Structure 1
Amino acid sequence: MTDRIFNFNAGPAVLPLDILKQAQAELLNYRDTGMSILEISHRSKPYEVIHQEAEADMKALLGLGDNYRVLFVQGGGSLQFAMVPMNYLPAGRIADYILTGSWSEKALQEAKLLGQTHVAATTAGEGYRRIPSLQEIKLSDKPAYVHITSNNTIYGTQWREFPNFGDIPLMADMSSDMLSRPFDAKKFALIYAGAQKNLGPAGVTIVIIRKDLLDECPPTIPTMLRYDTYAKNDSMYNTPPCFSVYIVHLVLQWLRKNGGLAAMEKHNQEKAAFIYRQIDQSGGFYRGHAEPDSRSLMNITFRLPNEELEGAFVKEAVQAGLGGLKGYRTVGGIRASVYNAMSKEGCLALAAFMDEFRKKNS
């Protein structure tokens, strides 16, 4: 399909072409129902199968058992910033947050509206160029939970090793690197991820929650803001975002068919290396934001010698079929988002463009 570009947008982001083709083929008549997936009832058997298989596939990919539920929620990660403390920050307790970028800051801001908080570690003073070491984390006395952001789309940093706090519940926003590599999901009491970066289209947020936490949801908060509401009703207390869940279902099947998380990690390491190599070998023409031991495999951020060259880079990249490379508005520079669905060919094309642009403008 020659009219498609290499899409480096941070989200909504690139989806596997095979999945787009399958959705296109099934759009008018889903599995001989005579209706589009956009038209069928969420109470119908065809949709129930999608829903059930998506939960099962997610748990299989993460190695989770019956003591976890997978919920499909609306409102994006931004709603989760509030739902987590609403459900799990009782009066008299403190919620600990580890700050690694703008999204963890926003999560903290929401928690502050609802109860006491503590910053257990932060690299804000260093421009969020790295992830704090485990030794830097200083918890409050008996925190209600600890919250982290696993990958930082704006600054291009990512946790290499997740902390373990024993019996203290660990909560994570994994919106931008969910299912990009193997990890011990059992360390976490709750994981949430907006689908539009690495899992599917905008409109659904996946929540993976340990079942014992469902008993702690306060009955005094609104029904649609309680996790147990979604669990008791299989995420269908109200009409779910059916089309978004359907695409997530296809993505999960695609991941399993293509070797699971171990194969995806290898794929992501290989393709990100093409771009980081151009940064490291540019003699300072390209300056990566993240320190090497905190570099993200999902979002690669860098600057050029001046903003004029950065503008020219983005403009010429579009002409070369490379889209979505402009950095986040508060940081500037260049950002290449290379999620699971970004191909090796796309990263090679960007690396070649970077090499040519540097030689022309040095």
Structure 2
Amino acid sequence: MGLSMMHFFLLGALGPRLVESLSLSPTLLGLTTTVSCAVATLVSPLSGRMVDQAGPKRSLVVLMTTAAAALLLIGVAPGPVVLLASVALGGLAQALANPATNKAIAADAPVERRALITSVKQSGVQLAALIVGLPLAWLSAAAGWRAAMWVMAAVAAGAALWVTLALPGDRPEQAPASRTRLLPRGTVVWLLAFSVPLGAGIACVNTYIALFATEKLGLGNTEAAALVAVIGGAGIIGRMACSRAARSPRRTRQLPALLLAGSVAATLLLVFAAQLSPLIWCAAAAIGLCAVSVNAVTMMLVLHHSPPERAGRDSAMVSAGFFAGFALGPPFFGLLATSGDWTAGWLLVASEFTAAALLATTWVLRDHA
């Protein structure tokens, strides 16, 4: 999970260095997220079917090999064209991540442990943010941002080799489930719907918080990259806490609305950080605890309802909504950031989290009706 999103966090945390090195505008920096996540959105339905047919081991090998190639190409990119092509390749890895890992959990994990295991594996995404914001930020300061990309490309290639040699082979696909066991269509629609504004808000924060810190608050590049680490560390804590709270499908359905309300408040702290800069650290921690935990809860809900043979496809459909939001959010924020109107940008993020909260609340109320 961490390797599938590593290029995304690296581009966000090292954004100020890339803007200077490759002469990128804030809008073009946001376009890297849009391209990567647009590819992930389009490919997700196909990737889910592929995972269900090929099995999690083969899918993980493809995922890690693709992630390694994307990171390597970003590291040698001479300009925006190659950079955008490289992040498009990274989108393929993103599309495989949730289907492959959820397929493995649905196939092998006991039902009573799935919430905990799902939280652990979703925390891999935030572990990537933590690694990017601390050791890789220091490495980029000492050896350049390209070195950070190449190191993680080597890690991804090594992970692909380890999976190939160490994990047992995929089992033959089970017979298709009956219609009564399939994930209810209404549940898919609701999870996909609120994942779109959720993804838009999270993408804006991850892509632009470091650039905001350097341009508006005067933080250094390494210190600004540490904000991504704060989001990642808090996200791990939040996702693990959700596994304890989500002990039943009914309780799990109530969590997204509560977490999204906290996300709105956290985003408003970013607005006030322009006047009181220490608030940015509080905002980063709160966004990690609340906003980035919601996607872990949605994956728990998928696994609560999906039979093992459908886990890949159902996970991919919900992930497609999340990645669509990732693709849509940063370009609009980038236009505001380019004009210097950071306040309007953070208010846009707050409105995206608010929309997601309203959809999640409506779903819960509908469920109780």
TM-score normalised per structure 1 = 0.27
Higher relative contact order (CA 8 A, sep 6+): 2
- Which structure is higher in strand share? 1
- Which structure is higher in helix share? 2
TM-score normalised per structure 2 = 0.27
